[in-house]
């Protein structure tokens, strides 16, 4: 291939690749109020709430929270989309979603968008959104410590087979005091929920100050509960490290931040538990090179995604290039972390574009070094990165056929 043929081959392969979205906060319709979708949810996404108070300082958080969901959405729409150009990634994402669904992002109000979503059959709408995004499987975040969600799981399983469970363990690992009287009781609890959910992996969001090993309860639970249970059920453990909670409590969910973590904690866990498999993502940009280095040393670590505040095109480009240069195709380049269904449209459209550019650059350099590339090689690599690596890591086949 010449360089233009190569560029087209990479872009087309990335565009067609089926995606398993390995970490989201999405749920199927039978999960009731946990299933978030529609224009009011999109516009009141917590990223946009934080932006609102930068653009409109006349309204306080306390005033904002007294308003209904529709009133909140109208306030944000007026401030960020009517009174300003939607340049931020989160705001531009709403524009992409509306355009993809045939809605007018230049509208002065949200009335027509509300009518559109009110007319949708939710199951059919999910099918359409997943088709547009090229997503064939969605991995949820499932918290058995949340009474509302636990009640749903005790009654039924997800009705949509493309939604897969991930067992979230944050309260177990981040509580100052033990939630159980004995290690056996804790293991039995996790065993019970694994049997009920049939998760693809276990997971926890860990703070920037996360350390291992140390004398904390967290280390004890990791050693005596999470690692042995993971081996017993052959489940990877996903560590999402670097969150700093509630630096501005007035913003509620929009008030969390990020901090640099110590990658040596990941290194020590991988060394102490070589038979366990780990999915790892870190929230600080400064941790990304260190994570690549550690992943080169421990084959039981799978870096994944550009999480939360890193999910911006400029940073995704940088992290993807770094991983390609250091890890080849042996990583998972992205996940959406979507909280509202329609977000997967823009998050995957934007990510595909950036990842394709990074892959093209790496393939171009490889061809200049003397390696002639074939279409089937490119498609093989891209399928691995968008679904195959994750499927191999969890030991299950999930992805459907490529997009037409």
CB 307 within 8 A of CB 282: yes
Record the tokens describing residue 184, joined without a space: 């056996």
Q: What is the mean pLDDT of residues 349-371?
A: 97
Distances (CA, A) of 361 to 1, 56, 247, 365, 372: 14, 41, 39, 6, 14
Question: pLDDT tens-digit profile of 233-257?
Answer: 999 999 999 999 999 999 999 999 9
pLDDT at site 132: 98
pLDDT at site 1: 86
CATH (residue range 39-118) = 1.10.2020.10
Record the tokens describing residue 91, joined without a space: 């705001």
Q: Which helix (H) or strand (E) holds 139?
A: strand 135-139
What residue segments make up the domains of the chain, in order of their start?
Answer: 3-35+137-394, 39-118
Record the tokens describing residue 85, joined without a space: 């150009």
CB 280 within 8 A of CB 236: no
Q: What is the mean pLDDT of the chain?
A: 97
Record the tokens describing residue 257, joined without a space: 């931040």
Distances (CA, A) of 297 to 80, 269, 271, 292, 326: 45, 13, 10, 9, 11
Q: What is the mean pLDDT of residues 123-148?
A: 98
Question: pLDDT tens-digit profile of 254-264?
Answer: 999 999 999 99
> pTM (2 decimals)?
0.96
Domain 3-35+137-394 belongs to what topology? TIM Barrel (3.20.20)
Evaluate if residue 100 carries a pLDDT over 70. yes
Q: What is the mean pLDDT of residues 94-118?
A: 98
How confident is residue 335, by pLDDT bands cut at 50, 70 and 90? very high
pLDDT at site 401: 64
The DSSP result for 157-175, as a single string, is: --SSTTEE--EE-HHHHH-
pLDDT at site 214: 96
The fraction of the chain above a pLDDT of 90, given in percent, is: 97
Domains 3-35+137-394 and 39-118 share a fold: no
Is 359 strand, coil or helix?
helix
Q: What is the mean pLDDT of residues 383-398?
A: 96
Rg of the chain over all Cα atoms, to the nearest angstrom: 21
CB 116 within 8 A of CB 105: no
Q: What is the mean pLDDT of residues 58-76?
A: 98
Of 204, 257, 320, the residue nearest 47 (C-alpha): 257
Cα–Cα distance measured from residue 392 to residue 121, given in angstroms and rounded to the nearest whole number: 34
Cα–Cα distance measured from residue 388 to residue 380, given in angstroms and rounded to the nearest whole number: 9
CB 302 within 8 A of CB 275: no
pLDDT at site 34: 97
Report how far Cα 119 is from the mean position of its chain's Cα atoms: 28
pLDDT at site 376: 96
pLDDT at site 399: 64
Record the tokens describing residue 208, joined without a space: 């920037």
pLDDT at site 176: 83
How confident is residue 162, by pLDDT bands cut at 50, 70 and 90? very high
Cα–Cα distance measured from residue 208 to residue 216, given in angstroms and rounded to the nearest whole number: 15
């Amino acid at each position: 291939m010449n360089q233009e043929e190569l560029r087209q081959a990479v872009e087309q392969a990335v565009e067609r690749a089926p995606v398993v979205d390995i970490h989201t906060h999405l749920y199927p319709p039978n999960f009731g109020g946990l299933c978030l979708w529609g224009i009011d949810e999109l516009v009141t996404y917590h990223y946009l709430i934080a932006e609102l108070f930068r653009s409109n300082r006349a309204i306080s958080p306390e005033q904002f929270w007294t308003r209904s969901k529709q009133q909140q959405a109208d306030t944000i729409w007026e401030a960020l989309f009517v009174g300003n150009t939607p340049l931020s990634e989160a705001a531009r994402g709403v524009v992409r979603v509306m355009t993809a669904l045939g809605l007018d992002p230049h509208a002065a109000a949200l009335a027509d968008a509300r009518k559109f979503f009110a007319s949708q059959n939710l199951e059919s709408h999910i099918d359409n959104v997943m088709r547009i995004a090229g997503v064939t499987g969605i991995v949820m975040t499932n918290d058995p410590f949340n009474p509302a969600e636990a009640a749903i799981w005790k009654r039924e399983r997800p009705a949509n087979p493309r939604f897969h469970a991930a067992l979230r363990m944050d309260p177990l690992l981040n509580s100052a005091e033990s939630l159980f009287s004995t290690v056996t009781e804790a293991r039995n609890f996790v065993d019970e929920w694994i049997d009920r959910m049939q998760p693809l992996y276990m997971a926890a969001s860990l703070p920037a100050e996360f350390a291992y090993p140390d004398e904390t309860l967290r280390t004890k639970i990791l050693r005596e509960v999470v690692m042995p249970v993971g081996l017993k059920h052959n489940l990877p453990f996903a560590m999402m490290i670097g969150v700093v909670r509630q630096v501005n409590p007035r913003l509620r969910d929009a008030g969390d931040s990020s901090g640099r973590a110590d990658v040596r904690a990941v290194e020590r866990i991988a060394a102490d538990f070589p038979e366990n498999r780990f999915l790892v993502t870190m929230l600080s940009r400064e941790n990304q090179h260190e994570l690549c280095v550690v992943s080169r040393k421990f084959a039981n670590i799978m870096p994944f995604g550009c999480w939360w505040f890193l999910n911006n095109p400029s940073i995704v480009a940088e992290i993807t290039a770094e991983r390609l240069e250091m890890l080849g195709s042996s990583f998972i380049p992205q996940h959406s972390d979507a909280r509202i269904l329609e977000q997967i449209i823009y998050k995957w459209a934007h990510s595909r574009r950036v990842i394709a550019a990074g892959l093209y650059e790496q393939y171009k350099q490889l061809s200049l070094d003397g390696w002639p590339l074939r279409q089937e090689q490119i498609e093989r690599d891209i399928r691995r990165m968008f679904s195959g690596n994750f499927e191999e890591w969890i030991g299950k086949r999930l992805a459907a056929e490529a997009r037409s």
